[in-house]
Structure 1
Amino acid sequence: MGGLRRVVTFADQGVSSVSNFVAVAIAANVASAHQFGQFSLAYAGLLLFLGAQRALVGETLLVRYSRTGQLTREVAAASLGATALVAVPTVLLLLVGAAAAGEENAALWLVMAGVAPVVLLQDSIRYLFICEGVPGRALAIDGAWAIISIAAMLLAAQAGAGLAEVLLWWGAGAAVALILGLLLARCVPAVPAGVRWLWLNRSFAFRYAGEFAALNASSFAVLYLLVFPLGAAGVGALRAAQLLFSPLNTVFGALKTAVIPELVRTRGTPAFRARLLEALAVVLVLGVGWGGAVLLLPAGAGEFVLGETWRNAEDLRWPYAVQYLAMVPYTILLAYFRATEANQLSTLMRGVLAALTLVLPLALALSGSTQASAWGFAVAVAIAGVCGAVAVKRGRRSSARDVTLERVD
């Protein structure tokens, strides 16, 4: 049963990622270059808060409430209320963007502001279903959103609709999925209870949100700072090379979502180690397979995907292949820390990654080499993973020493 749940959760993550990619592609086809730039800014803001909501509410749900019987209807309603609270600053940010964008582009920002609470709540319900051990319901609502929104967006685009109207249909699909999710969950957001829920889970929720904020801040900051030694073309090459490996980001995200609840449910049993090793094997095979495919990618295929940027990104494939290979043990360790509630160790490992991501690529880029900067990202992940592994080993030695002392006493 657990294996089927994990497969369905992976399928749900795939549907969500592919549908989002298609939706952005449709938006790109109906927008001018300037409009798409404005949309990209608004969408980036929405994704930033979506990631924060997943760290603050989603991961806390998986860690604290995945054990059978822990997730009551009251807890579910309170967690949705917490998500509604996260939606408030999201909407405010997008409204500020609408005011700053000018009359010509304000409409698409306003649409994104209206859609944001729906998207955040729909995503939170996905986590509720996965936490409950019924990921099929998450797949159902994501599938409904994908089918309805993409079909409606395509019809609107063919009819000559503008970007704002096309985005409205994207939001309409999300609204249908949200309503379906609320009906299946049999609860509605309880905002006052959400405040209390966040307070009761503050040692987890705010720590996870802090880890997310630190990693994102360092990643954004280093890209902007790299413009000075490498130029815009160099940063573009780094982003293009990363794009070649982006499907693995979906794998890593799905792995955490699928495996953490199963690890929580089997904690303290022999099945825990089996689940962890199984996850390691699966993600290692996928990582090596995709990395090898990218390294063997013919120039013609690379130019088809990246256009002229391929020439600058081609030599960066090796450092990024190593980086994503290092992400395998890093992700498994993070899942282990979450499942065992070893929050200090996860913060240590992710804090090391945030610091090194900011320092190493920039320091190595001072030579003017984009490839050296890419190796900086790879080394940062590898060192963070080693720190996590060392922390686990020391923790086990300490536990074994305590057990020995108890026996002596």
Structure 2
Amino acid sequence: MGAGRRLATFADQGVSSLSNFAAVAIAANVAGTGEFGQFSLAYAGLLLFLGAQRAFVGETLLVRYSRTGALTARIVAASLGGSVLCGVPAALFLLGGGLLAGGQDALLWQLLALAAPFILLQDSLRYLFICQGLPGRALAVDGLWAGVSIPGMLLAAGSGWSLVPVLSWWIAGALAAMVLGLVVARSLPAVPAGARWLWLNRDCAVRYLAEFAALNASSFAVLYLLVFPLGAAGVGALRAAQLLFSPLNTVFGALKTAIIPELVRARGTVMFRRRLLEALAVVGVLAVGWGAAVLFLPAAAGEFVLGETWANATELRWPYAVQYLAMVPYTIMLACFRAAEANRLSTFMRGVLAAATLILPLCLALNGSVAAAAWGFAGATGLAAACGLARMAIQRRGGVPASAQHQVSAR
């Protein structure tokens, strides 16, 4: 049963990632250069708040309520209410972006502002179903979104529609998926209870949100700062090389989402370690396999995917292959720390990653070498994984408990 749940979670993550990629690709083909630039900015803002909600609400659900019987009807409604509250600042941010954009571009921002609460609530339902041990329902909800939005966007684009009505199909799919999710969950968001739920779980939620914010801030900052020693072309080469390994990001995200509930349910049993070793083996094989495929990618295929940027990105494949190999133990340890509620360990490891990601690539790039900067990213991930492992070993040797394993409920 556990293997089936993990497989369904991986499938759901794949459907979600592929449908989002397809939606952006269709938008790129419909929009003009300036219009797509505005869409990219607005979409990046939406993704930022979506990631923040996953840390704030989604991960808290997985860690605190994956135990059998932990999710009562009141907690379900309260967690959904917390997601609605997260949708408010997302919508306000996008509306503010529309005011700054002005003119015809404002409509694009306003459309995504309207969609933000639907999308955040739908995503929270995915985490809810996975937490309940019912990832097949999450897959069905995401499948409906993809089934409604992608064909509709393709038909609209083929008929010569502009970007805003094409994106309306994407939002319609999100709305349909949200409604289906609420029907299947047999619940409605309870907003006042959501505020209380967030308050009761603030020790986890705020910490996870802070970790997310620190990592994203360092990742964005280092890319902008690398423009000075490397130039825009150098940063573009780094992003292009990273794109070649992007499917592994989906794997790591799906693994963490799938394995945390399994580990929480196995906490205190011999199955806990077995589940960790199984996850390590699966993701390790996938990382090695995909890394080898990228390293041996023919030049013609690379040019097809990256165009002219391939020439600058090809030498960066080795450092990124090493970085993604280092992501394997890092991801497994993060899942272990989350499931055990060893929050200080996860914050320490992710803090090391945030600081090293900001410092190492910049220091190594001072001589103008793009490859050196790429090795800096690999070193940052390896250092974070090594520090996390060392800190865990020190605590175990000293007999310090990893967590208090709080039991919190929205009573």
Relative to the length of structure 2, the TM-score reads: 0.97
Matched residues in 2 for 1:373 and 1:320: separation?
Answer: 11
Superposed displacement of residue 160, structure 1: 1.3
Mapped pair 1:185 → 2:185: yes
> Counterpart amino acid of 1:386?
A
Deviations 1:83-102 (A, max 9, x none): 11111111111111111112
> Counterpart amino acid of 2:154?
L
Superposed displacement of residue 400, structure 1: 8.3
Superposed displacement of residue 394, structure 1: 1.1
Matched residues in 2 for 1:78 and 1:230: separation?
Answer: 48
SS of the counterpart of 1:366?
helix
Match of 2:409 in 1: none
Match of 2:96 in 1: 96
Match of 1:127 in 2: 127
Match of 2:233 in 1: 233
- How many residues of Structure 1 are paired with residues of Structure 2 in the alignment? 402
Mapped pair 1:115 → 2:115: yes
* 1:355-370 mapped onto 2 (5 Å cutoff): 355-370=355-370
Matched residues in 2 for 1:313 and 1:398: separation?
Answer: 46
Match of 1:63 in 2: 63
RMSD between aligned alpha carbons?
Answer: 1.1
Percent of pairs with identical residues: 72
Matched residues in 2 for 1:103 and 1:190: separation?
Answer: 37
SS of the counterpart of 1:70?
coil
Match of 2:408 in 1: none
> Counterpart amino acid of 1:217?
A
Matched residues in 1 for 2:204 and 2:143: separation?
Answer: 30
Match of 1:84 in 2: 84
SS of the counterpart of 2:399?
helix
Mapped pair 1:169 → 2:161: no
* 1:139-288 mapped onto 2 (5 Å cutoff): 139-288=139-288
Match of 1:351 in 2: 351
> Counterpart amino acid of 2:84?
A
> Counterpart amino acid of 1:339?
A
Matched residues in 2 for 1:298 and 1:195: separation?
Answer: 53
Superposed displacement of residue 251, structure 1: 0.2
> Counterpart amino acid of 1:207?
R
Match of 2:73 in 1: 73
Superposed displacement of residue 395, structure 1: 1.6
Matched residues in 2 for 1:203 and 1:400: separation?
Answer: 20
Superposed displacement of residue 392, structure 1: 1.3
SS of the counterpart of 2:69?
coil
Matched residues in 1 for 2:165 and 2:234: separation?
Answer: 36
Matched residues in 1 for 2:60 and 2:365: separation?
Answer: 37
The 3 A distance-change label for structure 1 pair 88 and 58 is: same
Deviations 1:340-382 (A, max 9, x none): 0000000000000000000000111111000000000000000
Matched residues in 2 for 1:239 and 1:292: separation?
Answer: 19
Matched residues in 2 for 1:241 and 1:313: separation?
Answer: 5
> Counterpart amino acid of 2:121?
L
Match of 1:404 in 2: none
Task: Structure 2 unaligned segments of length 5 or more: list them.
Answer: 402-411
Matched residues in 2 for 1:161 and 1:192: separation?
Answer: 41
Match of 1:389 in 2: 389
Matched residues in 2 for 1:80 and 1:36: separation?
Answer: 32
Matched residues in 1 for 2:210 and 2:287: separation?
Answer: 28
Deviations 1:297-342 (A, max 9, x none): 0111000000000011010000000000000000000000000000
Matched residues in 2 for 1:330 and 1:217: separation?
Answer: 19
Task: Structure 1 unaligned segments of length 5 or more: list them.
Answer: 402-409
Matched residues in 2 for 1:185 and 1:235: separation?
Answer: 44
> Counterpart amino acid of 1:22?
A
Matched residues in 2 for 1:344 and 1:6: separation?
Answer: 27
Matched residues in 2 for 1:365 and 1:74: separation?
Answer: 52
Matched residues in 2 for 1:386 and 1:207: separation?
Answer: 22
Superposed displacement of residue 205, structure 1: 0.3
Superposed displacement of residue 391, structure 1: 1.2
SS of the counterpart of 1:68?
coil
Matched residues in 1 for 2:189 and 2:39: separation?
Answer: 29
* 1:319-330 mapped onto 2 (5 Å cutoff): 319-330=319-330
Match of 1:32 in 2: 32
> Counterpart amino acid of 2:227?
V
Of 45-54 and 90-99, the range deviating more from structure 2: 90-99
